[in-house]
Amino acid sequence: MTAAVAVLVAGCSSGQSSASRDRSAALADFAAIRAGHCAEVVTKFDIGMRARLGADAVCHGWQQFVAAFGSYLSHEAPRVTDFRGDTVVRVGLHMAKRPGEFRITFDSTGRIAGLYFLRPGVPL
């Protein structure tokens, strides 16, 4: 079984710090994916992501992750890191079989430049 299912997959809200905005956007996008509303998340993709992934692929990636890691139980507080000009938000996941991580990358305009379902500890 694969140790990581990578799915390449921010939002803006005035009045919030960028870190707070990115944390909120990451959790909202994760909730949308879990609820099967992947098309909602895909509308926030940057051009590169749109060329590679559609809503069905994003939802399928989540389903594969759940099959490998178990049902979603809960998540930890998001951690924000700047990386090569982008903002990476990492969310630890408590899954039924073993822990995982939801990772989403936002570009400087707030578009989604990457989205991943991973095992914990995968480097940036």
74, part of any domain: yes
How many angstroms separate the CA atoms of 50 and 46, rounded? 6
pLDDT digits (tens, 9 = 90+) for 1-55: 444 444 444 333 344 568 889 999 999 999 999 999 999 999 999 999 999 999 9
Q: 50 — alpha (psi -120 to 50), left (phi > 0) or beta?
A: alpha
> Residue 113 domain-assigned?
yes
CATH number at residue 48: 3.10.450.590
Determine the structural domain holding residue 71 and report its residue range: 5-118
Q: Which residues pair with 103 in a beta bridge?
A: 90, 116
Cα 12 from chain centre = 16
pTM of the model: 0.85
Number of domains in the chain: 1
Q: Where are the alpha helices (DSSP H) in 1-124?
A: 18-34, 38-42, 47-52, 55-69
User: Per the domain annotation, does 124 fall within a domain?
Assistant: no
